[in-house]
């Protein structure tokens, strides 16, 4: 374990892009339901969020820990745009690990075209983790596979190329993924209405009852299911890192505010009612960050590891929702108005906490 | 058997009627109010459909006023929780919910009450409160808006933020200092009628996280000149002493009014959280076959646990207001109620949204709106931190900071 997490040049670049590019574009991205073109350009040029091998025209694939640093630091600027950018990179993440030669070749489009989008239809809600997904892959005649299921919050579904869907093989119970054409028969995608937050990324609800050729299966019929599971864990951890970055920014912002705002004769940070709130948030954040780091180091495909990832993701959700609400609280009435960004983080953290939520991995606790 | 431990059957049933009406008639306008950043334009028509008068809040002269054995504070608690179960936008249109009205009633002289409270009997009237300033919120002794005496007038100068209905209120009760050197003791309340020269609406409406049905304004007072008798309590010394005169001057008066309003604020949060929980429970029940058996069992326990939490919050609210109705000092109990309810209600709304999953944050449901609305209840009318300080002071005195 190193002590330099977050301090290397990649993390520093991501922090700078987060603060100088993503942050200022946060409100416009939300209102337009799209990441502004100039922001995509910066992300594209820096190569921060498109992990594609040089062989396919990409800028290379950062190691998994570096990718967590990138996710956290972009989210430090704006969680909404960070989620959009990282979700756009989920397909290359899985294809790079599991895809066959021709599927990898298709990545070159993403590597050279800033306007190209990709997507993985992953989450199903209902607390399901990947091994429990009900989207099914069944071999039928003529080398075809029938895919049936429903996927929620699918990013960029209408324009994504490639668009992957993840499910469970009916023949051997392992994880499978397939490359889909969003406009093919049997695939219905419906643009979701606006949400509490994260509107910079258009999301879709997808209903599938479609047949695909076996060459569309990611990595073919005999694909390495463990490697796929490990890639999915990687993406889920990236979203956890976004939650940690959001929590960290909110806590830093509230801490700064608490040193400036005066009440009862001194800065409010001088009162333990405020400073302990901030300190406890920081302790939780550090703990969540360490768990993400460790999991990103091990990245495995086992069932036990998936459960560990579920635990980490859900803890990150607890940390982010609590830290952002505390940040609003520290700012008081000023936290409740859009003049300050904490209300945006309050919404973003809660929104993201629902994506991969499992009621078995956190509890309702009254505040008192 | 009696239906509720805290209230008579008559009041309980009254509350149920308000709740059913609010779900049927108020809730359908929730999204519109949120999008418009204002109450629905036809709010009066909507309010007039209530089959019972919202006693103390929105009286309909066409309907007989119900009589309850409970006092006004408990009665208001029942009304307000059930009203907000539909949605919170009516808070922006019911006149007497405003602290401005309470302040006039509590701090004004008989002559002042006679003069202005008539306006308030009208369902058209609005009052606003100017307490918070850009540089001060929780610490009201820092109020910098100045009132200086010039002959027969007071002249106000300063800025007030977060004034509910400030942009269009018929009058604003403004707290200002007559002598900064006196600190908290120098603070007085002034009644500023709409249209007074020097009363400037600097920002008609803030862009807020939630509670958007209410207009929240920033007001600037620039050499705003008022007759001397616009200071609440002015000339009170001339009135014959009264044994039941409990009027309080200055900042203490303002704070004491806020104190009685605190369980009400908690009840508003409880109303919203109960609505979120019930909406989520219904959606989850509809979809329960999609959950694994183990998860569904966990969810059932969670829903019960959240309901029980809201019951606990409600108990504290009722207890504090029962004391108020009996004329017993309830500052600590009011603070306990407000410290307990809002932050926990916030968690109930959040959890309700999470249990549903990604669909829980969609604007197709009201949960996401209520999660935005609910946050302010732990902030305004005394933050959770201030309430803790007040409870601690009851235990250890002024050592608590």
Mean pLDDT of all residues in A91-118 = 96
Mean pLDDT of all residues in B94-119 = 77
- Is the model's pLDDT at B120 over the cut of 70? no
Q: Look over chain B and give the mean of its residue pLDDT values, rounded to a whole number.
A: 90
**Closest of A362, A366, A365 to residue A353, by C-alpha:** A362
How does residue A2 score in pLDDT terms, banded at 50, 70 and 90?
Answer: confident
**Closest of A241, A245, A256, A243 to residue A340, by C-alpha:** A256
Which tens digit of pLDDT belongs to each residue from B8-48?
Answer: 999 999 999 999 999 999 999 999 999 999 999 999 899 99
How does residue B245 score in pLDDT terms, banded at 50, 70 and 90?
Answer: very low
Mean pLDDT of all residues in B352-368 = 98
Q: What is the C-alpha to C-alpha distance for residues B234 and B188, in angstroms, rounded to an integer?
A: 10
Contacts of A337 in chain B (CB under 8 A): 206-209, 216
**Closest of B76, B105, B75 to residue B91, by C-alpha:** B76
Q: Exposure of A60 by Cβ count < 10 A (0-12 exposed, 13-18 middle, 19+ buried)?
A: exposed
User: Given CB atoms, is A264 within the 8 Å cutoff of chain B?
Assistant: yes
Q: How far is A317 from chain B (nearest CA, A)?
A: 10
What CATH code would you report for B250-396? Answer: 1.20.140.10
Query: Do B106-114+124-230 and B250-396 fold alike per CATH?
Result: no
Query: Dihedral angle at the C-alpha atoms of A67, A68, A69, A73, nearest 10 degrees?
Result: 110
Give A 309-338 residues with CB within 8 A of chain B.
317, 321, 325, 328-329, 332-333, 335-338
CA B186 from centre of chain = 26
Which tens digit of pLDDT belongs to each residue from A146-199?
Answer: 999 999 999 999 999 999 999 999 999 999 999 999 899 999 999 999 999 999
pTM: 0.95
Contacts of A355 in chain B (CB under 8 A): 357-358
How does residue B254 score in pLDDT terms, banded at 50, 70 and 90?
Answer: low
Peptide bond before residue A162 is cis, with ω within 30 degrees of 0: yes
- Is the model's pLDDT at B240 over the cut of 50? no
Which tens digit of pLDDT belongs to each residue from B190-202?
Answer: 999 999 999 999 9
| CB within 8 Å: B295 and A360 | yes
CATH topology of domain B106-114+124-230: Butyryl-CoA Dehydrogenase, subunit A; domain 2 (2.40.110)
Q: Which of A193, A329, A336 sits opposite B384 (nearest CB)?
A: A329
CA A47 from centre of chain = 17
User: What is the ipTM score, two decimals?
Assistant: 0.98
The domain locations on chain B are: 9-97, 106-114+124-230, 250-396
Q: What is the pLDDT of residue B241?
A: 44
Residue pair B46/B40 in contact by the 8 Å Cβ criterion: yes
Buried b (16+ CB within 10 A) or exposed e, B142-154: bbebbbeeeeeeb
Which range, of A337-341, A343-347, B79-83, B124-128, averages the lowest pLDDT?
B124-128
């Amino acid at each position: 374990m190193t002590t330099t997490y977050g301090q290397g040049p990649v993390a520093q670049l991501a922090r700078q892009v987060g603060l100088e590019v993503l942050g200022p574009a946060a409100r416009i991205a939300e209102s337009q339901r799209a990441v502004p073109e100039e922001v995509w350009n910066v992300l594209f040029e820096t190569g921060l969020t498109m992990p594609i091998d040089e062989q396919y025209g990409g800028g290379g694939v950062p190691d998994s820990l570096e990718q967590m640093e990138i996710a956290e630091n972009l989210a430090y600027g704006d969680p909404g745009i960070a989620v959009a950018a990282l979700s756009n990179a989920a397909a290359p993440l899985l294809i790079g690990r599991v895809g066959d030669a021709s599927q990898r070749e298709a990545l070159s489009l993403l590597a050279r075209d800033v306007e190209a989008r990709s997507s993985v239809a992953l989450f199903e809600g209902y607390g399901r983790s990947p091994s429990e997904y009900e989207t099914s892959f069944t071999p039928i005649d003529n080398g075809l596979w029938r895919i049936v299921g429903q996927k929620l919050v699918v990013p960029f579904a209408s324009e994504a190329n490639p668009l992957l869907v993840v499910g469970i093989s009916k023949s051997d119970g392992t994880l499978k993924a397939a490359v889909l054409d969003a406009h093919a028969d049997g695939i219905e995608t419906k643009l979701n209405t606006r949400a509490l937050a994260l509107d910079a990324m258009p999301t879709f609800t997808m209903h599938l009852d479609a047949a695909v050729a076996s060459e569309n299966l990611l990595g073919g019929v005999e694909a390495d299911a463990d490697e796929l599971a490990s890639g999915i864990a990687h993406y889920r951890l990236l979203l956890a890192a976004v939650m940690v970055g959001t929590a960290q920014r909110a806590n830093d912002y509230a801490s700064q505010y608490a040193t400036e705002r005066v009440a009862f004769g001194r800065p409010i940070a001088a009162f333990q009612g405020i400073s302990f709130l901030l300190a406890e948030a920081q302790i939780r954040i550090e703990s969540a960050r360490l768990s993400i780091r460790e999991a990103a180091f091990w990245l495995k495909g086992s069932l036990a590891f998936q459960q560990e990832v579920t635990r980490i993701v859900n803890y990150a959700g607890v940390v982010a929702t609590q830290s952002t609400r505390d940040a609003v609280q520290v700012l008081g009435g000023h936290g409740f108005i859009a003049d300050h960004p904490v209300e945006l983080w309050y919404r973003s953290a809660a929104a993201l906490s629902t994506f991969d939520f499992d009621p078995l991995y956190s509890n309702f606790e009254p505040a008192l | 058997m009696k239906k509720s431990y805290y209230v008579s059957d008559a009041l309980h049933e009254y509350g149920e009627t308000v709740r059913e009406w609010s779900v049927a008639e108020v809730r359908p306008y929730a999204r519109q109010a949120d999008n418009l950043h204002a109450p629905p334009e036809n709010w009066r028509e909507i309010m007039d459909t209530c089959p019972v008068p919202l006693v103390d809040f929105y009286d309909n002269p066409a309907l007989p006023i119900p009589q309850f054995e409970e006092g006004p504070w408990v009665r208001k608690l029942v009304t307000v929780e059930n009203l907000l179960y539909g949605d919170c936008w009516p808070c922006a249109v019911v006149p007497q919910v405003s602290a401005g009205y309470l302040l006039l009633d509590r701090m004004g002289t008989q002559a002042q009450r006679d003069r202005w409270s008539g306006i308030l009997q009208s369902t058209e009237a609005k009052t606003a409160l100017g307490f918070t300033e850009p540089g001060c919120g929780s610490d009201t002794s820092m109020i910098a808006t100045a009132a200086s005496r010039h002959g027969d007038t007071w002249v106000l100068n300063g800025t007030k933020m977060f004034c509910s209905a400030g942009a269009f209120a018929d009058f604003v009760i403004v707290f200002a200092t007559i002598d900064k050197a006196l600190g908290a003791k120098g603070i007085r309340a002034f009644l500023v009628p709409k249209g007074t020269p020097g009363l400037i609406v600097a920002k008609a409406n803030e862009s807020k996280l939630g509670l958007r049905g209410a207009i929240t304004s920033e007001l600037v007072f620039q050499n705003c000149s008022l007759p001397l008798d616009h200071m609440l309590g002015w000339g009170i010394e001339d009135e014959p002493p009264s044994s039941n005169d409990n009027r309080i001057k200055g900042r203490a008066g303002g704070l004491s009014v806020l104190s009685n309003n605190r369980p009400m604020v908690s009840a508003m949060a409880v109303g919203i959280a109960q609505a979120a929980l019930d909406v989520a429970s219904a959606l989850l029940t509809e979809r329960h076959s999609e959950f694994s058996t183990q998860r569904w069992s966990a969810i059932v326990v969670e829903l019960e646990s959240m309901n029980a939490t809201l019951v606990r919050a409600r108990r504290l609210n009722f207890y504090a207001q029962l004391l108020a109705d009996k004329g017993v000092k309830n500052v600590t109990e009011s603070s306990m109620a407000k410290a307990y309810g809002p932050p926990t209600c916030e968690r109930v709304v959040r959890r309700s949204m999470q249990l549903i999953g990604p669909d829980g944050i969609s604007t197709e449901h009201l949960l996401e709106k209520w999660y935005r609305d609910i946050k302010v209840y732990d902030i305004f009318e005394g933050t959770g931190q201030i309430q803790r300080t007040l409870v601690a002071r009851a235990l250890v005195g002024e050592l608590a900071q």
